[in-house]
Structure formats: C-alpha cells, structure tokens
Amino acid sequence: MPTPLPDQLLVESPEQALALLNPLRAELLSRLEQPASASEVARSLGETPQRINYHIKALEKAGLVRRTGSRQVKNLVEVLYQAVARTFVISDALAASAGVRGKLPEQGALAGLARTAEAMRRDALLLLERAESPGEADVPSAVLTSTVRLASEADRQAFVRDYLAAVEEVVRRYASPDESGEAYTAALAVYPRPERTEAQGKDEGADE
C-alpha cells in the first residue's frame, strides 16, 4: 500500500532547491505522488526511459524521491519511486543565503526558457489546427533565429541589455493603448548554444 505523503516539505538544501527549478524534474515529482517506475513515467511523458531514469536518480540523490519497492515485468525488475511530499517550499533562509542567491536566478531563467518553449510549442500546434479549419484565413506569425558570437562576458551582458531594450521599445511603439485588437505573444530568448553529442538522449550526464 502506498505510503501517505506529507502535504509539504520545507526545502533547506541548495541541491534540492536547484533540482526543483528544473522543469522536467518538477514534473516528475508531480507524477510520482504515487509509486511508479522510470519506464512508466517515461511512457506517460513520451520520453525515453534512460532520460527519465537519469533525472529520477538525481531527485533521489537530492532526497526528493525515495524507492518504495520493485516489481517484476517480464524478465526485468523495475524499481518503484515516490516523491517525499506533495508540494515543496524553498525556505527563506536558503533563498537568502550567499551560496544559493546567485545560482537560483540563473537556473530560474533556464527553467523559464524551457517553460516558454513548451508553451510556444502547444500554442503553435493549436494555431496549426486553426489554420487547417475550412474558411480560416492565414494565421499571421513570424520567427527569427540567429547565432551571435560574443567575445567576452561584458559583451554578453551589453548585448542582452541592448537586445531587451530594443524589443521593449518596439512593443511600446505598436501596443494598442486601450488593449483593443487581437493579442499576440512575443517571446524573447538569449542562451548559450549547447554542444550536442552522439550520446545525447541515451546518457543524460550533461543534461540540463
């Protein structure tokens, strides 16, 4: 019988806090309110068992999930995992500590990037369905991707600052003052281009 979960866990370690800011790991915790194997969770998410197993192991190491048993599936023994609580709250003392204060904004921005990318994917699929409807006009949209090489940290900071300011100016110039008209989503992202390896998707040792 599954062990009843505490409603809340106060997170007091930097390792746990950083794990919670990873969108996939946060999703895994929500799906592990009941005991499940990595393969079972992977099927529900449309992910590979190797990738999900890697992230569950990381959550187990951080003390956010625990092993609750195992079961025989054909010739394999699957380990069952369960989250240690239903919700997680980062303590005020941890959020204010010098060792974590710098890391949380960085990881939070990457988590926001992943959430924005997923939201854009969902919106694009809905708009594609809309565009295929009989009598529907073309859906106005645009996308621009570019790679820029920045020589130093100072250049990176200046580029991001000027980039944000330019986009904010365009938004202010064209935004309807009375909130009339159709609403559009304008998403902006700047991030280092990751190096991809042949092992990606199999061994997630270098995953986010």
Which CB contacts under 8 angstroms, 24+ apart, belong to 109-113? 110/21, 110/191, 110/208, 111/21, 111/22, 111/23, 111/26, 113/189, 113/191
For the chain, the domains span: 1-132, 142-175+186-192
pLDDT digits (tens, 9 = 90+) for 146-162: 889 989 989 988 998 89
Which residue has better confidence, 205 or 29? 29
pLDDT digits (tens, 9 = 90+) for 55-106: 999 999 999 999 999 998 888 899 999 999 988 887 767 655 655 555 555 5
The architecture that CATH gives domain 1-132 is Orthogonal Bundle (1.10)
CA 42/CA 78 separation, integer angstroms:
13
Contact 65, 83 (CB under 8 A): yes
pLDDT digits (tens, 9 = 90+) for 160-192: 889 888 988 988 888 888 878 888 888 878 778
pTM: 0.51
Side chain identity, residue 169: E
